[in-house]
């Protein structure tokens, strides 16, 4: 029930923890998990001294560790056991501007790189590799995957969400490629999530959440 938040402007990672109290809304406790609020930089080490530069995305690991997309440092960081470490740095696998991450089956990692218009993948502990596909993406801003190995990407400039199949085929699953709010349209989709048999889309420009049933 603990929510992790990447504070891009505060350069810190916060936790929102339910206290178990009563009332509506239920009381929560907000704490700093890592970083020095208001101070940007690149520093590994104890969480209270570590520095980030515009953290943008987070993902919980199975062991309770927290992965963080550190945009300003073009790196993927880990918060675990009171320490911040760098898992992947700029240049790894061609990574230039990581903007979102997602965990896959077997503790694999997906990274959306908004600068190179590529999706990178790594198995647990392995190096980043480019996900092969038979076309190009228009500024990937969000990434997720389903149990069948399909990768879903929110194209913030392409105004659509696409599915990359295991054989590299790119299929449009939402949006018509035109910025808009009409039927079947999206406006700067920024994030995606596979959950409960649905594909959840943060439709940034339209200030809404869109859900679609996953194709069988």
Cα 19 → chain centroid: 26
pLDDT at 20 (0 to 100): 80
pLDDT at 93 (0 to 100): 92
Residue by residue, pLDDT tens for the chain (216 residues) are 899 999 999 999 999 999 887 666 668 899 999 999 999 999 999 999 999 999 999 999 999 999 999 999 999 999 999 999 999 999 999 999 999 999 988 778 999 999 999 999 998 778 999 999 999 999 999 999 999 999 999 999 999 999 999 999 999 999 999 999 999 999 999 999 999 999 999 999 999 999 999 976
pLDDT at 43 (0 to 100): 98
For residues 27 and 40, is the Cβ–Cβ distance under 8 A? no
Q: Which residues contact 152 (CB under 8 A, 6 or more apart)?
A: 143, 144, 145, 146, 161, 162, 163, 164, 173, 192, 194, 199
State the burial class of residue 101 (Cβ atoms within 10 Å of its Cβ: 0-12, 13-18, 19+): buried
Chain length of the chain: 216
pLDDT at 27 (0 to 100): 87
pLDDT at 23 (0 to 100): 66
Q: Please state, in angstroms and as integers, the Cα–Cα distance from residue 134 to each residue in 122, 138, 165, 173, following that order.
A: 20, 14, 10, 16
For residues 94 and 130, is the Cβ–Cβ distance under 8 A? yes
């Amino acid at each position: 029930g603990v929510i992790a938040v990447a504070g891009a402007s505060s350069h810190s990672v916060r936790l929102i923890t339910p206290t178990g109290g009563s009332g509506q809304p239920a009381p929560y406790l907000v704490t700093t998990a890592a970083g020095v609020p208001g101070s940007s930089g690149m520093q590994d080490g104890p969480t209270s001294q570590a520095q980030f530069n515009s953290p943008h995305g987070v993902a919980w690991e199975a062991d309770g560790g927290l992965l963080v997309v550190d945009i300003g440092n073009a790196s993927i960081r880990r918060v675990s056991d009171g320490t911040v470490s760098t898992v992947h740095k700029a240049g790894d696998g061609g990574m230039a501007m990581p903007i979102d991450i997602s965990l896959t089956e077997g503790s694999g990692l997906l990274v959306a790189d908004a600068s190179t218009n590529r999706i990178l993948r790594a198995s647990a502990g392995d190096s980043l590799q480019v996900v092969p596909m038979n076309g190009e993406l228009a500024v990937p801003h969000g990434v997720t995957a389903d149990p069948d190995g399909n990768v879903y990407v929110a194209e913030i400039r392409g105004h659509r969400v696409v599915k990359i199949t295991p054989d590299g085929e790119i299929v449009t699953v939402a949006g018509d490629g035109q910025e808009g709010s009409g039927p079947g349209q999206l406006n700067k989709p920024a994030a995606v999530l596979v959950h409960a048999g649905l594909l959840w889309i943060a439709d940034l420009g339209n200030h809404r959440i869109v859900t679609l049933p996953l194709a069988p």
